[in-house]
Structure 1
Amino acid sequence: MILVSAEDPEFVKSLNPKLLGLKKEKLTHFRLYWHDIVDGHNPSAVTIVQPPSNSSQTKFGLIRMFDNALTQGPDPSSKLVGRAQGFYGSASQEDVSLLMAENFAFVQGKYNGSTITLMGRNSIFNKVRELSVIGGSGVFRFARGYALASTQSFNASKSDDAIVEYNIYVLHY
């Protein structure tokens, strides 16, 4: 029997971050607006799993996939800066709380082609919710941080369409 220890250079080794081009870590703040369009001719969020017919008011079991616009302002015609791509599912039987996994894929400026990955619990009727930045790509490799989400508008009675302000604080190199 062969055991591989953590000291085995064939398996794992420590690296100097400078070898990967990593310099001083920066803290960047983004304020973006997430447009979740469930209703209409061209929805950006689609239901992929309906909740069971005996589901509670929380729609427990609902899963939606989305490709939402990220804009500079709350107006849907504001400048597009990226796309939020991922899914959310109603994960609570007692309140309206979503499990969310999403990539914010930037399409403008020096962040074009880079992503920030968010994951967490989103209790949508709370004034402010916090999700974790769990990584990223491009400029945001090794990213970590948090995002604060606050609903700007939500049409719960008719369409489920929503506009959510995201304030993201991300540490990256």
Structure 2
Amino acid sequence: MTLAMATSSFSCPYICENEINWRLYLKQVGGTGPDHNQEQIFPPPESPKMFGKTVVNDWTIIDAPAPNAKVVGHAQGVHILSDLANVGWYSSLNIVFQGDRFNGSTLQVMGVLPPAGEWAIVGGTGELTLARGTIKHKIVGTAPDTNFPELDIHAFYLNSSINSIVERVSAQDR
């Protein structure tokens, strides 16, 4: 019954949602140096295409593709070489933001990692509750063992004031 009450007060999808358009950057550091932020965890059987290679990552998210850029979060997850024909990597990531308004909020992201492509935003937490949208990505810079993909994030998420209303209604129902 409480759900019906909450639903009637939430029949405002355009008023209750916020939209974000961000341009951020990943800093992907391979190799074995002290700054590397990805590690192979499962080597496949010997094959020229390395099908099944699995890598865990904690890529840094920064505000510019530069060495002194501000860190705004991390993309933590895995990528698996799963496309024999095109050498594409399936990626599943939790983007965890730090500092400022979105500190501790997350976006759950999945998709394919070719040099340029698009990921789906399939959820979010904190200030980004129930996020949905896309992230277009392309490599815009490189350095030794390092790629800088540009991330164009476009998403909708629930207004944080709606989250507190849902919590109050749930507490009253207990």
The two structures have a TM-score, normalised by structure 1, of: 0.79
1:99-146: CA deviations, max 9, x gaps? 00111111021101101111012223xxx3011000011011111000
Aligned position for 1:68: 59
Q: Counterpart in 1 of 2:110? A: 119
Matched residue type, 1:141? T
Number of aligned residues:
153
Q: What secondary structure is seen at the aligned counterpart in 1 of 2:127? A: helix
- State the match for 2:36 in structure 1: 43
* Counterpart mapping for 1:145-164 below 5 A: 145-154=133-142, 159=145, 161-164=146-149
The answer for the alignment partner of 1:29 in structure 2 is 21
**8 A contact 1:35–1:76 mirrored in 2:** no
Distance 2:59 2:123 in 1: 19
Q: Taking structure 1 as reference, are residues 17 and 92 closer, same or farther at Cα in structure 2, changes over 3 Å only?
A: farther
**CA 1:96–1:153 in structure 2 vs 1: closer, same or farther (change >3 Å)?**
farther
After superposition, the Cα gap between the structure-2 partners of 1:91 and 1:85, relative to the gap in structure 1 and judged at 3 Å, is same
After superposing on structure 2, the runs of 4+ consecutive aligned residues of structure 1 that deviate more than 4 Å are none
Q: Which runs of 5+ in 1 are unaligned?
A: 1-8
Contact 1:133 1:143 in 2 (8 A): yes
Provide the residue aligned with 2:151 in structure 1: 166
More helix by share: 2
For residues 94 and 100 of structure 1, the distance between their equivalents in structure 2, rounded to whole angstroms, comes to 17
Distance 1:162 1:17, change over 3 A: farther
Q: Structure 2: state its 5+ residue gaps.
A: 159-174
Q: d(CA) in 2 for partners of 1:141 and 1:17?
A: 19
Q: Distance in 1 between matches of 2:9 and 2:60?
A: 35
What percent of counterpart residues are identical? 24
Partner of 2:85: 94
Shift of 1:76: 3.0
Task: Give me the whole-angstrom Cα distance separating, in 2, the residues matched to 1:18 and 1:28.
Answer: 23
Question: Which SS does the other structure have where 2:83 is aligned?
Answer: coil
1:136 lines up with 2:129 in the alignment? no
